[in-house]
Amino acid sequence: MLVGLFLLTQIFFDASCCMAHRVIAITNCADSIPALVEVQSFIESLDAGSANTVRAYEKALTDLVEFVAERKRVRPAAVLYLDINRVALEAFGRRLSSRFSTATVSSRIGAIKAFTRYMAEKHDIANRGSVLEIPTKVIRKPKGLSATQYRALLATSKRLEPRNSFLLDLLRLTGMRCEEARCATLGQISDDFRFLVDIVGKGEKLRTIPISANLRRSLMRYMEWRQQWPTRPEYPLLVSAYGYRQRNPDTLRMGSKTIWTVVNDAMTKSGIPKGLAHPHTLRHTFAYHTLDLLGQRTNNPTRALEMLAQLLGHSDIEMTLRYVTSDEQLIGEYMEELA
């Protein structure tokens, strides 16, 4: 009986010591806060980022917390910032490298480093993300459509309903990002139907996009069909009646998934391979065609690149240089000319 009582006392003492060690370890306010709470606080601080960027950051950080929870055999809600230590970060980095492409790994580690930098500044603590290294990206030329594929898509587009046909024309003739097209409003069409103004790109960067004669004709046809819906300036350019509530412009806006589905279906019907059947392929195709045209018109490759960067909304012209070459040395030479 006395032995049993002694053992119980010893177990209680050991457990108390372990708890005490953990309490002592949590000397910083940040360490005692659930990691998901800090992740949410960080995500809310990204109000200037694009919707896609915010979603990507949230996914990367949620995956990190779930990974740590799995290692500790606790629920994600029970993971503290204390648990996101050097060992956990390095292990998560190894998992990313074993499962994803270099580009995806770079993106996710970039999100984690941004989060740990935010935590360091907010709580005046060391930046734990410094143990992670962003892998060097391999520069690849983006894939656009061939002339044959492009013609096949045009033929398919003519057989679609007015909204879907205009959507394809808008993406292929402006190089707009999917989210930019989705968020455009009627009020952003200039009075003479020659420009889309104040289009919001990545990093809240604004730009004006010219409306070509071909796109203008497509727009006019689409606007005739669109008359069945509200046409006030604050209402979306691209509409979807699903879930629409009167006097609420956002509920009439076409969803990202709907845009992807329309483009994917049209490309699939045109015989375009699955790997190319997505909206961004139209942006790449626009970039190649426009760069070629600008090069011929200006007879100045450097000026043509600068104009294309402006049209695409690139803040870094290195992004635009991908459409010229994948040779890093040659890109460096171009940068010297542009400086």
Per-residue confidence (pLDDT) for residue 267, from 0 to 100: 97
Can you read off the two tokens belonging to residue 271? Answer: 């015989």
Ramachandran region of residue 193, left (φ > 0), alpha (ψ -120 to 50) or beta? left
How many other C-beta atoms lie within 10 A of the C-beta of residue 205?
12
Q: How many Cα atoms sit within 13 Å of 332 on the Cβ side?
A: 3
Block residue for tokens 């959507």: 167
Per-residue confidence (pLDDT) for residue 25, from 0 to 100: 44
Distance CA 14, CA 19 (A): 9
> Domains in the chain, ordered, with CATH?
11-131 (1.10.150.130), 147-338 (1.10.443.10)
Q: What is the DSSP string of 125-138?
A: ---GGGG--PPPPP
Spell out a b/e string for 254-286, using b for 16 or more CB atoms within 10 Å of the CB, else e: bebebbeebbeebbebbebeeebbbbbbbbbbb
Per-residue pLDDT of the chain (339 residues; tens, 9 = 90+): 433 433 334 433 343 444 444 444 444 566 788 999 999 999 988 865 567 788 889 999 999 999 999 999 999 999 999 999 999 999 999 999 899 888 788 889 999 999 999 999 988 888 988 888 888 766 678 899 999 999 999 999 999 999 999 999 999 999 999 999 999 999 999 999 999 999 998 878 899 999 999 999 999 999 999 999 999 999 999 998 776 777 788 888 999 999 999 999 999 999 999 999 999 999 999 999 998 888 888 888 888 888 999 999 998 887 888 888 544 444 444 444 443
What pTM does this model have? 0.67
